[in-house]
């Protein structure tokens, strides 16, 4: 457990084997550090000699956080604290990886660090990144994406209900059933609880797309062409958008965090891709 400056806490899963190299893995929306995609990458990295730190966003991982706020796509102050915590343990090399919302968070953090990034951070690999948050919210609001949206809202309703019991003056879950999209959820909960004016203001400030050009370490973004969550803007092609250090891979298949093609080594395609990228970076 890692205490935060605002008297909250982040819960960490460490996988240590005495390495001098650390990989920090960030999960996706309503995920946690024990999701299969996190554990699969962790297993592959451990086999390559890395220590791994998989962390849980506030309110995730089975433990409700202490403050009214929870997590959001631009909470880089939390990722920064996790990275600093890892660096303080003496690692000589640190690698970042993130899935979905955790991918946006990772790239946004790297963009904010810019030229000031710690020299021990060697690079990042991210998957299924909704780097255009407004466009991704529009995609998930489509009738054909209803099953995904219902699943997210079901989980979020439970979480917000628990927070409403603890902070009844700040959080109201009455008429939650009227919420059918992230436009409504983020406008009612995410934006006001985290200091944003509105859902569009939140999306504009926290989308990684506009900060990719500021990244100064090798970073790979893997977004499948058939990802049902991603807008067209989540596939930037120009160097003006990607900058000098970010590479975009667009496999034909993969859906959303579904790069599950097995190889003879037992790894998923996404895990083999991460290891190959690392070989060229470290």
Judged against a pLDDT cut of 80, whether residue 261 lies above it is answered with no
Q: How does pLDDT run across 49-63, given as a tens digit for each residue?
A: 999 999 999 999 999
Nearest alpha-carbon partner for 248 in 133, 131, 140: 131
**Exposed / middle / buried, residue 151 (Cβ in 10 Å: 0-12, 13-18, 19+):** exposed
Could you give phi then psi for residue 25, rounded to 5 degrees? -115, 130
Q: Any idea which residue has 């959080």 for tokens?
A: 171
Map 80-117 to HEC letters: HHHHHHHHCCCCCEEEEEEECHHHHHHHHHHHHHHHHC
Task: State the average pLDDT over residues 241-253.
Answer: 96
| N-to-C CA span, the chain | 29
| Averaged pLDDT for residues 77-103 | 97
> How are beta strands 219-222 and 246-249 bridged, if at all?
parallel
* Closest to 55 (Cα-Cα) out of 24, 16, 15: 24
* Whole-number Å distance between alpha carbons of 98 and 71: 15
Residue with tokens 């439970």: 158
Is the distance from CB of 64 to CB of 163 less than 8 angstroms?
yes
**Could you give the CA distance from residue 180 to residue 97 in angstroms, rounded to a whole number?**
30
Strands, E, within 91-233: which ranges?
Answer: 93-99, 121-127, 219-222
pLDDT in tens, 174-222: 999 999 999 999 999 999 999 999 999 999 999 999 999 999 999 999 9
Q: Which residues contact 64 (CB under 8 A, 6 or more apart)?
A: 159, 162, 163, 166
The per-residue pLDDT for 259 is 84
Reported pTM: 0.95
Residue 134's alpha-carbon distances to 73, 114, 203, 222, in angstroms, are: 12, 24, 6, 19
> Residue 262 has what pLDDT?
65
Backbone angles phi, psi at 261, to 5 degrees: -60, 125
């Amino acid at each position: 457990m890692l205490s935060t400056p605002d008297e909250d806490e982040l819960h960490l899963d460490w996988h240590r084997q005495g390495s001098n190299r650390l990989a920090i893995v960030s999960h996706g929306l309503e995920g946690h550090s024990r999701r299969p995609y996190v554990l699969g990458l962790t297993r592959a990295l451990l086999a390559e000699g890395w220590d791994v730190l998989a962390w849980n966003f506030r309110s995730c991982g089975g433990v409700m956080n202490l403050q009214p706020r929870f997590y959001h796509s631009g909470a880089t102050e939390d990722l920064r604290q996790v990275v600093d915590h890892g660096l303080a343990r003496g690692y000589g090399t640190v690698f970042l990886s993130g899935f979905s919302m955790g991918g946006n968070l990772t790239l946004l953090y790297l963009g904010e660090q810019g030229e000031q990034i710690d020299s021990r951070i060697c690079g990042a690999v991210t998957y299924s990144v909704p780097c255009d948050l407004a466009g991704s919210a529009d995609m998930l609001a489509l009738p054909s994406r209803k099953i995904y949206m219902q699943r997210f809202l079901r989980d979020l309703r439970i979480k917000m209900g628990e927070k409403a019991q603890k902070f009844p003056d700040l959080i109201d879950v009455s008429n939650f059933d009227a919420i059918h999209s992230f436009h409504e959820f983020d406008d009612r909960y995410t934006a006001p609880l985290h200091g944003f004016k509105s859902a569009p203001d939140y999306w504009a400030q926290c989308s990684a797309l506009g900060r990719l050009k500021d990244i100064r370490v090798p970073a790979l973004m893997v977004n499948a062409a058939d990802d049902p969550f991603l807008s067209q803007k989540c596939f930037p092609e120009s160097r003006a958008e990607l900058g000098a250090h970010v590479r975009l891979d667009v496999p034909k298949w993969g859906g959303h965090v579904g790069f599950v093609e097995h190889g003879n080594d037992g790894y998923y395609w996404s895990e083999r891709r991460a290891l190959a990228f690392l070989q060229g970076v470290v």
